[in-house]
């Protein structure tokens, strides 16, 4: 599943700026815009956060514009053909620090652990716990400050929820998000979100998952 770019309908809360302008300003000297993070195409509603603002899980509008050596977090959702997608990608504009790379890889590993745990008959709480264990083992447990995910379909947020107290058992056909995150206050945040469906054989991603960090060239 890949959201399509619909420029006339683009509505972006990009820390008080229009993301299209930020992308062009940042690379005007090279005559081209940088690529979007892997597999992300704008459409519907979007939140774009730069730098320290990316450490705010739910976003906040500021006057910050995109400059070199900043984290970039893009959360996009829309309802094509009556059903929602909800995808988040995190990357870096410039050369990422070693810690950013480490955090990014921990988040990706946590997401994979959650998807591997999801299967028919498994409580939603255990899917959340699988991701949380990876992040806690890496020493960032206190910075994973929200549930792993939520049901997805006719509404963008609907039951069941991937959270510690949710005892609902997964069933084939249930769709939900897997979106672990690590948020370091005042520095940066990383969240990777994909849309997952529970099948008879386990869980499969409906959105193409990222495999490695691909920074935006400055």
Mean pLDDT throughout 29-43? 40
pTM of the model: 0.78
Domain presence at residue 4 = no
Q: Is residue 77 part of a domain?
A: yes
Give residue 104's domain range: 51-57+70-205
The 10s digit of each residue's pLDDT in 154-208 is 888 899 999 999 999 999 999 999 999 999 999 999 999 999 999 999 999 999 9
Q: Distance between CA 167 and CA 199 in Å, rounded?
A: 19
pLDDT band at 72, cuts 50/70/90?
very high
The Cβ of residue 5 has, within 10 Å, a number of other Cβ atoms equal to 12
Residue 118 has pLDDT above 50, yes or no: yes
Domain count, the chain: 1
Question: H or E segment at 127?
Answer: helix 124-137
Q: Please write down the HEC assignment for all residues of 17-63.
A: ECHHHHHHHHCHHHCCCCCCCCCCCCCCEEEEEEHHHHHCCCCCCCC
C-alpha separations of 169 from 114, 122, 134, 147, 212 in Å: 14, 5, 22, 16, 31
Tell me the chain's radius of gyration from C-alpha atoms: 17
pLDDT of residue 40: 41
Q: CATH number, domain at 131?
A: 3.90.230.10
212 found inside a domain: no
Q: Do 54 and 14 touch, CB atoms closer than 8 A?
A: no
Task: Quickly tell me which residue has 């509505």 as its tokens.
Answer: 11
Asked whether residue 31 is domain-assigned, the answer is no
């Amino acid at each position: 599943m890949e959201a399509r770019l619909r420029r006339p309908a683009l509505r972006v809360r990009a820390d008080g700026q229009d993301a299209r302008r930020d992308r062009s300003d940042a690379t005007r000297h090279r005559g081209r815009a940088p690529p979007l993070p892997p597999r992300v195409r704008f459409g519907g509603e979007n939140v774009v956060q730069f730098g320290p603002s990316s450490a705010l899980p739910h976003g906040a509008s500021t006057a910050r514009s995109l400059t070199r050596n900043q984290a970039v977090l893009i959360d996009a959702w829309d309802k094509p053909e009556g059903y929602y997608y909800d995808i988040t990608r995190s990357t870096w504009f410039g050369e990422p620090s070693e810690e950013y790379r480490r955090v990014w890889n921990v988040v990706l590993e946590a997401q994979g652990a959650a998807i591997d745990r999801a299967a028919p008959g498994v409580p939603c709480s255990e899917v959340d716990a699988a991701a949380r264990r990876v992040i806690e083992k890496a020493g960032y447990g206190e910075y994973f400050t929200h549930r792993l995910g939520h049901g997805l379909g006719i509404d963008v947020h609907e039951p069941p929820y991937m959270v510690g107290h949710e005892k609902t058992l997964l069933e084939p056909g249930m769709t939900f998000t897997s979106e672990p995150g690590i948020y370091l206050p005042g520095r940066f945040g990383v969240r990777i979100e994909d849309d997952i469906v529970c099948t008879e054989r386990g869980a499969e991603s409906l959105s193409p998952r990222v495999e490695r960090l691909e920074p935006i060239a400055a």
